[in-house]
Every structure is written in C-alpha cells, then in structure tokens.
Amino acid sequence: MLIDFEQLDETEIKNFYGGTQSTYARMFADESNRIMRGRLAPGASIGPHTHETGSEIIFILSGTGKAFCGGATEALTPGMCHYCPKGHTHSLTADGAEALVFFAVVPQQ
C-alpha cells in the first residue's frame, strides 16, 4: 500500500496534548497504525502524553528539536529516531530556527 502524504490534507492541531502553538500533520490511520508526517514551527511543542495502547517512533526529516522521555532530554537532528515505548510518557519541541519536520508511526499493540 502506498501512502502519498502530498495527497493528504494537512490538519492543524492547536496545542496538541497541551503543547504550545500548533502541530501540522498529514495523517493516515487504520485499526492497526497511525502514520503521519508532522511539522512544528520554531518554538512549538507537543505536550507530554503517555502511550498506553502502543509505542511511537519519530524519525526527524529536517530541523532540530528535543524529545523528553523517561526523565531525559534527547537532542534531535535530521536522521535521528526517537522511540517512546508503550506505557511511557514523552513530549517533542522544535528548538531551532526552522520548522521541525518528522515522520511518526504509532502502532497499536
């Protein structure tokens, strides 16, 4: 199955999980997975949230940011992958001068 993110509508999610500003996402979802290409403007964030029914994998495409997970701060740059296991809490912040663009997969487990 091919997913062409350019053909999907971009959705604005304001203050996603209590974060700052807006998250912009092109998303595909079915009963097994949520797959998205997301974008955070400089200074924007996705607030802390717990993955109770599945994990999350976030691959950084461009920009810089930070993930907060398990009491640790992880610096994120293009080519890096952040993993939040099922049952854990994390958040994501764009901390550079350009947008943080990422690809995320949330499988239901």
Position 3, amino acid: I
Residue 7 counted as domain residue: no
- Residue 39, in any domain of the structure: yes
pTM (2 decimals)? 0.93
Contact of 43 with 92, CB cutoff 8 Å: no
User: Domain of 68: which CATH number?
Assistant: 2.60.120.10
Across the chain, the runs of DSSP E, i.e. the strands, are 11-14, 22-29, 33-40, 45-50, 56-62, 65-69, 72-76, 81-84, 89-94, 100-107
Asked if the structure places residue 4 within a domain, the reply is: no
Asked whether residue 43 is assigned to any structural domain, the reply reads yes
Identify whether 96 is part of a domain. yes
Residuewise pLDDT in 10s, the chain (109 residues) = 999 999 999 999 999 999 999 999 999 999 999 999 999 999 999 999 999 999 999 999 999 999 999 899 999 999 999 999 999 999 999 999 999 999 999 998 8
SS3 of residue 5 by DSSP = helix
Domain that holds residue 47: 12-107
What's the number of domains the chain is made of?
1
